[in-house]
A and B are shown apart, each in its own frame.
Chain A
């Protein structure tokens, strides 16, 4: 026998100004099944909650409806109050008579009637509510970090230092990411590798971190706390246990002219190679696409002959590892927009038009020119360099509307580095705005302008073409009456747009996480949940979510790590019980489910599995659907799909929704 309590809130004047709350409380009290009805000024306040708790106890209420603001506001508050009063929190529902009634309608009988209609609807619903208990799932206290750049490294170290195991998967032969390619970092002009490599070594040596390089994620299944991940370890052709990193193989390798990825195509590498001197692990791999042994059917083989420890093995194949992890952190980073995208700038056509990362390699002491800024075409030192900011970014016509965030800073840095190395040289920066919002960032740009004499011209470049060995840059100076400006430059550096990593879309699909039209991974909430995804247990760190600089990547990485650590802080995970359930009945039916598994097909979280109901001897009786409560997010698509209503969702059951419809229309 239902004994429902109805609590009508005035919310000060917010509700009572347009709704006759006393009348609603009075009429609600007369509804069948309502044992108690009262109105009060501020239901969410301490005395308000006390009123609810006392009333539940005194009137032995079996369920309550709080008619007040939106459940999105205070459902949690009143559910906790119900729990304090000794009844199951899920026996409490809220009727929204503020945001959806009192605030949007004038004071009138119709408004009061509508409030009453809604209260009546929720009273009928709550009569059908059942006690629900939070669901517990076990947790594997191991994290998977995908990506070994600065964000991945930070996350991995934080989780490992908290005492949990980490598996790091990096697709390149070495960790370090783009930060390892940088010469200096803004705003301090710290040597990038100097601050990064100690961290890289720490990762490699940490007892809690297992580092898998030259490896990629092949598939992911499971759910938060219980992910099953298959990792493909690409064939390195080098036995990492035997290799000592002596480097004799790459010294002798006759294939020396492969465009070097680490140097952004500005230099060459050999077929057996380690990407850079400080690589971690500092052991080479063979690039089978260019190695003579593999491309010319067994010819050469010099490295194998030379290797003092016999570490080279051409027969190795890709291997697969299956691992179980409880949390996944994606830290796959970004790429720069390349080539054909800028025909008006001649990028990809003129050798001396390069992008920011290529300039970085020129400036780097360990780069192809040993740190001297030289023209790729003839090796001469440029006397005039033009830097073009916003190349592709913030441009609707190019389809990249966002700001790439890091370019204003690194362009200033590049201009400064050039001037430091070439005091007599002239540097020009064509910009739209200068975005230098971080700590010490604006001061950094000021240094470039005031101390290092970099010419900042506010205007865009419309065209670059080559004439007599020089690059003619046609732009405009909008602060000088929009005068057209033409500069004969020796080199042009384009700050090209930051774009998502090339494998981002396929990885997101493997992980079942959302991504936007630019293939950046989507956060759960842009303001309040910037490091989680909509998929429980998968977090984001770094530029894979959106363009960002190193301090932000590190912060976000630590934030993701803290989410993972939080997940691991207990042996079991508690989840909201608003989940789908397939009914079970006594034998011989067992369930009304016919095993059509249509629900399984439509579940976005793959939360429904096939269950074989067997007898004691192990004979199959019937196949039915089964919901993994740990994975179910409670959308109810399966419920609407089910042809004979064998699956239902607790909290929004067929019975409850029907009662609501009937109650709303019948007074």
Chain B
């Protein structure tokens, strides 16, 4: 058990529903895996999906994006925009050969503490099975610099 791969998962959630739902899981003392850490946004509509890429670049193995159920958005329509963005983004990632299964898009309401806990556990196991995220390759600036210098001097 001690040498098991522990995935690092970042959750981008909205303040009014999922964050509150996670709080409810806490108040209810529901236990779940430690692998997911939450970053709070006012609304899923606020989430710039490039932040997801940044997370993967910096060592995240998996991501959860979660907000209010459609029609329940505290700001009326933010979650609709998030959903549309996700559909387009996912299609782009797919095209790029990225394993879109590493990103879980969900709706968790402020009353769904147990759902949050299940979501965390299920996602943790799913990412654990996939292993560390290694596909992202950082640009090696020194190589790039050398290549460009070579091109200039040639």
Complex: A in contact with B (CB within 8 Å): yes
Interface residues of A (CB under 8 A from B): 70-72, 96, 98-100, 103-106, 108, 110-111, 114, 117-118, 121, 512, 514, 534, 578, 602, 604-605, 633-637, 639-641, 649, 651-652, 654, 657-658, 660-662, 664-666
18 sampled A-B residue pairs with Cβ under 8 A: A70-B19, A70-B26, A96-B38, A99-B25, A103-B26, A103-B29, A534-B74, A604-B76, A605-B75, A635-B43, A637-B46, A637-B77, A637-B78, A639-B48, A640-B47, A640-B49, A662-B58, A665-B58
CB contacts under 8 Å to A, within B1-46, are: 6, 8, 10, 15, 19-20, 22-23, 25-27, 29-32, 34, 37-43, 45-46
A contact residues around B48 at 8 Å (CB): 639-640, 654, 657
Contacts of B144 in A (CB 8 A): none
Is A649 within 8 A of B46, CB to CB? Answer: yes
Bound complex: CA A118 to CA B29 (Å): 19
- Contacts known (A70-B23, A105-B34, A665-B8); A657 close to B41, Cβ less than 8 A: yes
- A654: which B residues are within 8 A, CB to CB? 48
Q: Which of B32, B38, B85, B117 has the most CB of A within 10 A?
A: B38
B15 to chain A: closest residue by CB: A72
Separation in Å of the B17 CB from the closest CB of chain A?
Answer: 12
Distance in angstroms from A16 CB to nearest chain B CB is 15
14 other A-B residue contacts (CB within 8 Å) besides A661-B51, A666-B58: A72-B20, A96-B23, A99-B26, A100-B22, A100-B38, A104-B30, A105-B32, A534-B74, A604-B78, A635-B74, A636-B43, A636-B45, A637-B75, A639-B46
Per the bound structure, the CA–CA distance linking A651 and B46 in Å amounts to 12
**Interface residue range, chain B:** 35 or more
Contact yes or no, B37 A121, CB < 8 A = yes
Q: Are A635 and B38 in contact (CB under 8 A)?
A: no
Inter-chain contact B31/A578, CB cutoff 8 Å: no
If A99-B27, A104-B25, A661-B58 touch, whether A72 touches B45 (CB-CB below 8 Å) is no
Instruction: Let me know if A118 and B51 touch, CB within 8 A.
Output: no
Q: What CA separation (Å) do A658 and B20 show in the bound complex? A: 22
Q: Which residues of B contact A118 (CB under 8 A)?
A: 37
| Nearest A residue to B19, CB-CB | A72
Distance in angstroms from A524 CB to nearest chain B CB is 10
| A104 CA to B49 CA, complexed, in Å | 28
With CB as the reference atom, state the residue of chain B lying closest to A73. Answer: B23
Complex Cα spacing A103 to B19, Å: 15
Q: Which residues of the other chain, A, contact B31 by a CB distance below 8 angstroms?
A: 104-106
Contacts of B39 in A (CB 8 A): 121, 657, 660-661, 664
Q: How far is the CA of A108 from the CA of B31 in the complex (A)?
A: 13
The 6 A-B pairs of least Cβ separation, nearest first, read A636-B46, A99-B26, A637-B45, A635-B75, A604-B76, A665-B58
What's the nearest-Cβ distance from chain A to residue B27, in Å?
A: 6
Assembly CA distance A636 to B78 (angstroms): 8
Q: Which of A99, A117, A514, A639 contacts B22 (CB 8 A)?
A: A99
Residues of A with C-beta under 8 A to B46: 635-637, 639-640, 649, 652
Interface string of B64-108 (1 = CB under 8 A from A): 000000000011111001100100000000000000000000000
In the bound complex, what is the Cα–Cα distance between A654 and B47 (angstroms)? 10
Q: Is the CB of B59 within 8 A of A98?
A: no
A residues near B117, Cβ cutoff 8 Å: 104
Max chain A C-beta neighbours (<10 A), residue from B20, B32, B46, B60: B46
Whether the pair B23, A665 counts as a contact (CB closer than 8 A) is: no
Report Cα–Cα, A98/B28, bound state, in Å.
Answer: 12
Instruction: Chain A residues near B75: list those with CB within 8 A.
Output: 604-605, 633, 635, 637
Q: Which of B43, B54, B76 is within 8 Å of A658, CB to CB?
A: B54
Residue of B10, B22, B26, B30 touching A664 (CB-CB under 8 A): B10
Distance (Å) between the CB of B39 and the closest chain A CB? 5
Instruction: Report how far A71 CA is from B15 CA in the complex, Å.
Output: 10
| Shortest distance from the beta carbon of B145 to any chain A beta carbon, whole Å | 23
Beta-carbon contact of A637 and B81 below 8 Å:
yes
Bound Cα distance from A596 to B2, whole angstroms:
54
The smallest C-beta distance from A508 to any residue of chain B, in angstroms, reads 12
Cβ–Cβ contact B41 & A111, under 8 A: no
Question: Is A636's CB under 8 angstroms from B74's CB?
Answer: no
User: Which B residues are in CB contact (< 8 Å) with A578?
Assistant: 42
Taking a contact as CB atoms under 8 Å apart, the answer to whether A664 and B37 are in contact is yes
